[in-house]
Amino acid sequence: MKFSKYNLIVPGKDEEQFFLFNTFNGSCFNIDRLTADIVRKKSIESLSEENKELFTLSNVIIQDNINEDHIFAYLQGHVRYDTKKVVSTVLLTLDCNLRCPYCFQGLDKATETMTFDQADKYVSFIINTTKKNDAKSVFILLFGGEPLINVDVGIYILEKIKLFCDENDVAFSSGIITNGTLLNTQIINKLYDLNCRMMQITLDGIKSIHDTRRMYKSGKGSFEDIMGVLRILNDNIDINTVVRVNVDKMSLDGTYLLLEDIGKYGANITNCYVDFGIVRTEGTACSGYSKNCFIETEIGDVLYDLWNYAEKQGFRYNIKPGRKFFYCGLYGDNQYTITPNLDVYKCWEHVGNPEHLMGRINEHGHFVDQTHAFYDWMSVDPLKNDTCKVCVYLPTCGGGCGTIAYNETGSYHANGCFKVKGTIEKQVLKFVEGIVKAKNE
């Protein structure tokens, strides 16, 4: 018998309290300092018989002949080549009506916008891919730039694909990432009718802070407009509204004030889910903003305090560390990002960068001219990376972000660590605290 390689020891708030969390199977135990030391030293013979039995049943202790790398490789491959789901992000336009200083697409954006003719080719691509793989579900995410600048084409795409899915017994759903300034009741209702069940909208602190970070091209702030939209969405509990708050050193204090004071603007939006996005800028169009960003070792503490504060203000929060065979779903074989001119990428942060171009969609709606970048991206294997192979966090990040890896090393195959080490520990603490709270209520 031996200890699993994926046992993570998490210190509790009490110096004698620890949690043993297995990042592969999610088992979690409240243990004392002595047991924590035994697990760190991998000294099974020093465990009590009760703990030996308990840890064996939960696969914290496994048979000597079990190679966890083989299990991980199989399950990761199964997820990568699951062709029964088609997922695509479509950039309806590269243009935007805001001018945010930290935008990963840069301040001087292209204005290229998808036409109805290009939309027809994109729809054919989704239909062809679904038929070829006998897929059972399709998810379309509308994105930009600001997608609602080209809302008519977005609606046209969703209508065409939904009709195909309805006629062929394929589950269809959609979502949108928008700055929210162009949303209104009519558009919201139309998107809902087209199975849009997720809308992500960004707020960056209270009005005085937000309006210096997310302003129109004219310089006017966007806070009041966005709050008006969130009032509407908050009452539609069938739409999962995500309020994304981009957090860096400049906006952190404003984030706390936003959570605390949001009711002053006449909108209780606690039916919405708050997602704290850590601003990062390495190697991107906004790299000059990097001095304002948190370093990796700070992120866990920053998020933990924000999660707790959001919960106190009445926002919905359910933190639970989960298994991820890939850091991002875009490693999946049937997941693509498509630009207005029908270029194919994986990550939307790479759009417009020729070295990351994966191919294109032709006039018949087929993915053609695959580049080496496509095969390079799709062949990433964290078990061939010496750092990832022995990392206790591997089942929770799948090897990290390929974009970060490339920005830092020039290769998709490096470990792209971000918001994992130090953050998983805080997720475990938050998860355990939630269980204790539920028992005491």
Rounded CA-CA distance 277/271 in Å is 19
Task: State yes or no: cis peptide before 266, omega within 30 of 0.
Answer: no
Q: What is the pLDDT of residues 205-219, one digit of tens each?
A: 888 889 988 999 899
**Domain 77-312: homologous superfamily in CATH:** Aldolase class I (3.20.20.70)
Residues 217 and 65: their CA atoms lie apart, in Å, by 62
Sign of CA dihedral 318, 319, 324, 327: positive
| Spatial contact of 348 and 112, defined as CB atoms under 8 Å apart | no
Confidence band, pLDDT 50/70/90 cuts, at residue 246:
confident
Bin 145: left if φ > 0, else alpha if -120 < ψ < 50, else beta. left
Give the per-residue pLDDT at 101.
Answer: 79
Contact indicator for 155, 120 with CB cutoff of 8 Å: no
The pLDDT value given to residue 238? 86
For the chain, the average pLDDT equals 91
Question: How many other C-beta atoms are found inside a 10 Å radius of the C-beta of residue 66?
Answer: 13
pLDDT reading at 85 higher than 50 = yes
0.85 exceeded by the pTM? Answer: yes
Distance (Å, rounded) from C-alpha 172 to C-alpha 174? 7
Q: What is the CA radius of gyration of the chain?
A: 23
How are beta strands 335-338 and 273-278 bridged, if at all? Answer: unpaired
Place 235 in a pLDDT band, splitting at 50, 70 and 90: confident
283 exposure class (CB count in 10 Å sphere: 0-12, 13-18, 19+): middle
pLDDT class of 266 with cuts at 50, 70, 90? very low
10 Å Cβ neighbour count for 31?
20
Task: Give the lowest-confidence range in 9-13, 138-142, 179-183, 314-318.
Answer: 314-318
Residue extents of the structural domains in the chain: 2-66, 77-312
Q: How far is CA 319 from CA 196, 303, 304, 316, 342, in A?
A: 24, 11, 10, 10, 37
- The pLDDT > 70 percentage for the chain reads 94
- Whether 330 has a pLDDT exceeding 50, the answer reads yes
Among 266, 380, 253, 364, smallest CA distance to 328 is for: 380
CA distance 30 to 19: 5
Confidence of residue 311 (pLDDT cuts 50, 70, 90): confident
Q: Which residues contact 62 (CB under 8 A, 6 or more apart)?
A: 1, 2, 3, 4, 56, 68
| Mean pLDDT value of segment 261-274 | 67
Reduce the DSSP state of residue 201 to 3 states and report it.
Answer: strand
**Whether the predicted pLDDT of 281 surpasses 80:** no
Pairing type for strands 85-91 and 61-62 reads: unpaired
Residue written as token pair 């370093």: 295
Among 241, 225, 221, smallest CA distance to 233 is for: 241
Question: What is the chain's length?
Answer: 441
The beta-strand segments (E) located in 49-190 are: 61-62, 85-91, 137-143, 171-177
- pLDDT at position 437 is 78
pLDDT in tens, 98-152: 988 777 665 565 689 999 999 999 999 999 999 999 999 999 999 999 999 999 9
Cite the DSSP H helix spans in 168-287. Answer: 185-193, 207-213, 223-234, 252-261
Cis peptide bond upstream of 416, omega within 30: no
